[in-house]
Amino acid sequence: QVQLVESGGGLVQTGGSLRLSCAASGRTSSRYGMGWFRQAPGKERELVAGISWSGASKYYVDSVKGRFTISRDNGKNTVYLQMNSLKPEDTAVYYCGQAYGINLAKRSDEYNRWGQGTQVTVSS
């Protein structure tokens, strides 16, 4: 199975930007859709962005649409989340996830594996 490790989180002011990376290791020869999730204290884990294996199809939750961009480099076994115009409500631990299939996955139950997470804190 694939091991996922997130990086790139940190503390940023409102309106700032961060770029998160998710590096995959292990059995990376299989083709999967990928996604980014976040979980704030006391809140449910939320799927914020998804991408198909090819990268041609993408999904964003309404609250981040126009501000976040998901991308991937299959040659490097890495998925990225570019986050611009950050708001305090974006504060959460961000996780990358592996989907069951090759296609774009828009629901949490379509993912079966997550990394350890990276903290993103946006101050006002």
The string of pLDDT tens digits covering residues 36-90 is 999 999 999 999 999 999 999 999 999 999 999 999 999 999 999 999 999 999 9
Confidence at residue 67, expressed as pLDDT on a 0 to 100 scale: 98
Confidence at residue 116, expressed as pLDDT on a 0 to 100 scale: 95
The share of the chain scoring above pLDDT 90, in percent, equals 90
Query: How far apart are the C-alpha atoms of 103 and 117, rounded to whole Å?
Result: 23
Instruction: Answer yes or no: are the C-beta atoms of 34 and 96 closer than 8 Å.
Output: yes
Query: How far apart are the C-alpha atoms of 13 and 110, rounded to whole Å?
Result: 33
- Region 16-32: mean pLDDT is 88
Which among 27, 63, 34, 33 has a CA at the least distance from the CA of 48? 63
Residue 111 is encoded by which pair of tokens?
């993912």
DSSP secondary structure code for residue 18 in this structure: E
Q: Across the chain, what does the average pLDDT equal?
A: 94
